[in-house]
Structure 1
Amino acid sequence: MLLSLTTTVQCTKQTTEEREVEQAGSAILRGETPPVDSVGKVGDYYINEKTAEFYGPKKSAEEGGWGAPVRFGKDISSKARILSGTGMPKNTDGNEGDWYLDKETKKLYGPKTKNQWGNGIVLGGNPNNGSNQDNDASLPNYRLGDEGKTLLAWTNPKTQVIDMRKDAKLNQVEKLEIGAVSEQRALQKFVLGDQVGIIGASAFKNCFYLEEFVFNRKLTTIEETAFQYCLYLETMELPEGLEVLGQQAFVSCVKLKKVVVPSTCKNIHGAAFEKCEALEEVVLKEGIENIYTNAFQGCKTLRKVVFPASLKGLGAGIFKDSGVTEVTFKGNVPESGLGQGTGSPFEGVATLEKIYVPEQFIEDYKAQLSDYKNIIHPIK
């Protein structure tokens, strides 16, 4: 018997719905957040409609519960039909883009492409996306390159905590390659190895549920989009010794509330914290020299920012579409128009009410920021 469940990933319902797929089999549950342990029974399946991820079959708590999901849609606007039955699907079953769940072997096939179902993924037991059928314990968690100095990729999508310091080989790694730990949906905590100096571009991109990140003392570089869409990060106290903070390094970290940028980081590159909508506190330590275009664009919760006396230059629109109401400069007038664009650092800010500057430089600031001269005041 072939049964189907049609899923629209853009579903707006907030409650979890349950629907029986087989009278004597498991249920497929649906919601817009990852499933918690109290949801469903052992043997059930679960669809996160917001992220197009498929969990299951659920195991006992001792065996890991829901485990890590499998992504079944290309993006959150996709629609997918999940068919189910006993045995492998036939090429005549379903339509292009459909998925098929073999309830007997717990394999998920699809998406159907050019009239082919593919080899299938073993749900709940295979961390390598269907490439083989080995038990989890026999598969490597990561791949290294450059004689063990570079982490090329983390290959086990079920991992919830990665502590590089507890693995002798990982603790010798000096660089995380581009996208090395990206798309790890189960990952909640990451401890950086003692020797890592470079976090490569997009290294943790789309680690949606990463909540805690522990830095080391040797990190010098965070490249572009390194933490993009890490949706559950709340505090990032960047370590002393960090020198490079790349473009869009933390873009769309929507729950990030506090950021501390160390004195060793001379440059904050463009859009580094763009769309961090919950950002309330930014600590810029003495030593920072340049902040580039749109660095804090869209930070709607941000209200007050203090620039250190070491500041030399600002890009255009660094607070564009933010909620900033008060800015304090501790030093002389910084150069404007760094990077792309030549506009004012405050262009696009509708909420700005006060700019505080050292009394001896007040006329210089009024000349440089003439559009804002009426709200420029000496530091109290």
Structure 2
Amino acid sequence: MQVAINARFLLPNRLEGIGRYTYEIVQRMALNHPEVTFHLLFDRPFSNEFLIAPNMISHSLGPGARHPWLWYYHYEVRVKRWLKQHQVDLYWGPDAFLAESPSKTKSVVTIHDLAWEHHPEWNAARVSRFYSKWVPKYCNRADHIISISDFTRHDLVSRYGLPSNKITTIMHGYDEKKSIDKLVEWQRIPLFDPYFLVLGSINPRKNSYNLLKAFIEYKDEGKITSDLVFAGELGKGWSRKERSFITACFRRSDVHYLGRVSESEKEALLFNANALVYPSLLEGFGLVLLEAAQFNCPVLTSESSVCQEVLTGYTNQGGVIYIDPYSSESIGQGLTEVESIQKGPSLERNRTWDEVARELWEVLIGKINE
């Protein structure tokens, strides 16, 4: 059996979001099914670190797709041509992209969220236009669709008119918790005690601007004592005014910008944080919420349906403060409340990436056998 997989987001030392999702599932499927050949379709020279099993073969279908025009060329020309030449049994797009495949090749696409439909201003205009035009086409050409939450599934049905029986929700898993003793040894970065922790890319979707405004107001008024630590890269999508404000905040003595951190550093930060602060405006899932729960780290997060879906489905919701992400006052008040919480949520559902990989494989093999 031959399976082709989009691997454009498998980037060395930069596994976030879709890249992490792809990596966790593909490596498990390859190890669990040695009888199957998995073809990883890259858009640039690949790293051998992702080829962990002899049944994994990589293909570089350049040039690198870093622009909507090149996205079109990569999928609608290069990948489409490759699929026609190789006639694989199944083609999976874990990245919401799906090239046209031959009629004998079954195809499945994973959709993480429809952020460009809700907030097109978060991306360059040409990027949002591309997604709005092509993602519905990818969904219609797919034999089946995977959503990572019921929130995204309902969004696909209501916005794109897709039949609900064409979509299966398979929620994320999480890595096993590391031992606390080992975590203490991993504290290789300066720790700021006490501190609120913000994990992930600093972009409009994560609501960093409103968070900083609320934090500064409440900190300067003496309503909170914790510092604010950002562990993630400063992303795109900000106006000049917003970006200037954010970079100015990073020069404050109580706001710390660490940039990208390693997995072990992230775990040490979560283990020692007063709270994870996650006032996101829109998410397809919110894996960081589960990472915080692994260490009983108190959580401040949005009252959005997906954040509540994740925390309700996986944890006891203890030590969680929900806020209105559009209100600086609500965020500020939430900071004062979460700062006094001693213990955060505990995981009550044992769901690893092994389970996710098994569920997704059942969907894929089901399509092949139809």
- Whose strand proportion is higher, 1 or 2? 1
Larger Rg: 1
Shared fold, TM over 0.5: no
Q: Return the structure number with greater helix share.
A: 2
Query: Could you state the TM-score of these two structures normalised by the residue count of structure 1?
Result: 0.23
